[in-house]
Every structure is written in structure tokens, then in C-alpha cells.
Amino acid sequence: MKKYIGILLFAIIAVYSCKTQNNFSGEKVADNTKANDTLRIANDSLEYEVIIIDPGFNSWLASRARPRGYYGLPYLENKNQMWVTTWNSRVFNPQQYGELYQMRIDYDPTINYGYEVNYLLYNYLVYFQHTNNQRLGGVVPQY
């Protein structure tokens, strides 16, 4: 069974959850596939992946984002929870925010998505705030 969680903006960010029959050693596996500004990070051991299709995000991630390990997992999870909550409230208010927030993000803070998924979601939300002149709350890093 696949559960699709995503955002539709000018492009798409999606977090997919699926059950697999094989459970590997539990280590994180990152599969970076780039094609036409598409970035895929897969964490097979935790059964989640993030696919981001947004022109400019790959170059922004490579040139401006802090490296993996700069932020701890609790920091990323806290920021993602706060920003996703704000994002989701804006989805239901298109009169005020237009079409920037088209789809709800189903981010559950009780699920351990792992570092890669949280890192990528966090950086996409930072990128989104900078490129669209939006503030989802709290401090947004100025790279």
C-alpha cells in the first residue's frame, strides 16, 4: 500500500511511504538521481523517500544549503513540524495566499522519517521561503 504525501507548487515535493517485504540492515540508503531538476533521496530502510521537482532547487541545494550533519535531527524535525503546520493552514486559505500552497503536506511528527527525508524537506521549505518571499514562522536561515 502506498500513501502519497505531497506539495504542488510550481513544482512538486512528495514524501511517499510504502511497506516493503524485505527489511535491509537498517542503514540509510541515499539514492540521488538527477534529471531535469529532479532530486530523489531514498531511505529504503525506513521506507520513505522524497522527490523534489523544482527548477533551481538542485543548484540552490548544492550551492547554498548547509551540509548534511550541520543541523541535528531534532532541529530539523522541529522546524519541519512548525513550517508544515503553517503551510497546511495556508492551503485552506487560497484567497489570501493564491496558488502557492495547493496541496497539504501530511507530515506526522510521531513518525521517524530519518535524517535524509527531514534534511531535504527542511531545505526545500527554506528554499521555498526565500524564492517566494514567504515566511512560515520562526527564523529562516539566510545563506
pLDDT in tens, 102-138: 888 888 999 998 998 999 999 999 999 999 999 999 8
The cell numbers describing 69, all together, are 550533519
> 13 near 54, Cβ under 8 Å?
yes
| For the ranges 1-5, 17-21, 126-130, the one whose mean pLDDT is highest | 126-130
At residue 111, the 3 state secondary structure works out as: coil
Could you tell me which residues are beta bridge partners of residue 51? 14, 40
pTM: 0.70
1 sits in which H/E element = none
